[in-house]
Amino acid sequence: MWKTPKKPGIVIKRTMLALLFFPLHVYAQETTMAFSLKPYYAIVDTTEKDIYDRTVKVRWLNSTIEILAPASEQNQKAAREKLKQLFEKKGMPFDSVGHEAMSRSFAQNCHSFALEQYFNSKKIEDGVLFTPSTRLFDKEIEKILSESFTLIRKFTKKEFIKAQKELPQGILLVFRNQSNSPFHSVFYNNGFYSKNGAFGARIFPEVKPILKSYFDTAFIEAYAIDQTKFEYFKTIRP
C-alpha cells in the first residue's frame, strides 16, 4: 500500500514517476495473455561447433538467430575425457561432480535466462530455445528485441536508480554499455532476476549490485513483448 507522504515534494515526485511509467504499466498489463511461440520459429540447422557447444540456427519471425547449446553427448564425453587427462598430466585429481556443476552453471547466460524468466512469467510457451542449457550472443538478443519486443522507455543509469522502485512488474530490462552493446539482460518482477556469467542466478531487491558488476552501463532499456508483431507475421508468412 502506498502511504501518503507528509511532505508535498514527495507527493509531486511520486506523481511524476507514476505519469512517467503510465505507458509501461498499461503495456505490461496488455501483454499477459498466454500463447505459444512455436508457430513463430523453426529450427533451420544444428551444427557441432566443437566438443563443447553446438550452434542451433533458428528462424525467428523474419530474422535468423543463432543459439548456443551443449554439444552432443558423444562430444561432451570427449570434452570430459580431455579435461580429465589434462588434470592427470599435472598430477591433480579430477572432480567429475564439480565439473558437471560448473558445466551446468556455464550453460546459460544472462540473455537466455532473462528471456526464459520473462516468457515463463507471461505463461508464453517458448519450446526449447531459452532454457538453462542455452546461450545467446549480443547480436542475437538485438534481433529478438527488434522482431518481437517494443522499447517502452530508455533510462540513463542515474535516472534508473531513482526510478527503480516505481517499475511495473514483469518487464525485460536490457543494459547497454558505453558502446551501446546489450551486454546484460535482466527480468524484473518484484526484484531483479539476473545471471552473471558462470555464477548462479540471483534475485536482487535493487539494481545497484548489478550495476557494480556491469559498471560500464550507460543506459537501461525497458521492453515489453509486442503481440502485434506476432499477429503481423501470421499475415505475411508463406
Stretch 107-130: mean pLDDT: 91
Residue 80 vs residue 5, higher pLDDT: 80
**pLDDT in the model for residue 1:** 35
Please state the pTM of the whole predicted model.
0.81
Rounded CA-CA distance 27/69 in Å is: 32
Distance from the Cα of residue 78 to its chain's centroid:
30
Q: How far apart are CA 65 and CA 40, in angstroms?
A: 13
What are the pLDDT digits (tens) for 172-219?
999 999 999 999 999 999 999 999 977 889 999 999 999 999 999 999
